[in-house]
Structure 1
Amino acid sequence: MQHGPLKLKAQLYCGEEIAMGPGKADLLDAIDREGSISAAARAMGMSYRRGWMLVDSMNRCWTEKLVETAAGRSGAQLTPCGKAVLTHYRALQRAMAELTGHADYAALAHLLRDHPAIKE
């Protein structure tokens, strides 16, 4: 993860809802790793309800569900569409991180103070 004055955050919108952003991508990673929405939410320090609401939002925003839950059983997994969306989103994040090598970024960073000036 890059530290410094440039912080880019990719958010893809579906109408007024955020269909994918850094937090939702992290939740998908956690679901893939943990095998359930509740365990993923717990691992991320959020409530099950919040995790479920984020999954519901993602599932409604894409042409196919990103997360599939087993009816009558605990557990969840990413669908092939969910894996594809996550893969492409992470690639977009990596491409955005490479912008720190761009000439315009270097010019802006050169003109940027380390800290705001004291008010006069």
Structure 2
Amino acid sequence: MKLPNQTEGLRFRLVLKPGFALGPGKADLLEAIAATGSLAAAGARLAMSQKRVWGLVREMNTAFRDPLVETEKGGTGGGGSARLTATGRLVLDRYRAMEAETNAAIAAGVAELRGLMREEG
């Protein structure tokens, strides 16, 4: 799965308050949760450990007034579900829009710098 701007352009971190930043890893995690409906599946998609996934979700849910991710435990066989809340969807959409706007703003400069690079091969 190719993530947005993974190999080209700018990926940025927004330091929203001391000790908390929203960046590509957290945005990718929110996107994977929305796509899979599962913390385990989102972690697998991003090659991220369950401990890391839970830690990031806890960090994001604590940093914002309203949680970004809601989880529901599964039945006796486990397999809970996860989904973005309305606030989670808003945060993800705003971050991706800012990322796209930033890349559009620097596109000419990036093209100029690429033109100065050696040819591969």
TM-score by length of 2: 0.76
| Structure 2 match to 1:22 | 24
The residue matched to 2:91 in structure 1 has which SS? helix
Q: How does 1:53-68 map to 2 (within 5 A)?
A: 53-68=55-70
**Is 1:83 equivalent to 2:89 in the alignment?**
yes
Q: Give 1:42 deviation, angstroms.
A: 1.0
Number of residues of Structure 1 aligned to a counterpart in Structure 2 = 107
Question: Cα distance 1:78–1:8, how it changes in 2: closer, same or farther (>3 A)?
Answer: closer
Whether the 8 Å CA contact 1:31–1:78 is kept in 2: the answer is yes
Name the amino acid aligned to 1:47.
S
Name the amino acid aligned to 2:36.
E
Q: Give 1:114 deviation, angstroms.
A: 3.6
Q: Which stretches in structure 2 are left out of the alignment for 5+ residues? A: 75-79
TM-score by length of 1: 0.76
Match among 91, 99, 102 for residue 96 of structure 1 = 102
* Identical columns (%): 33
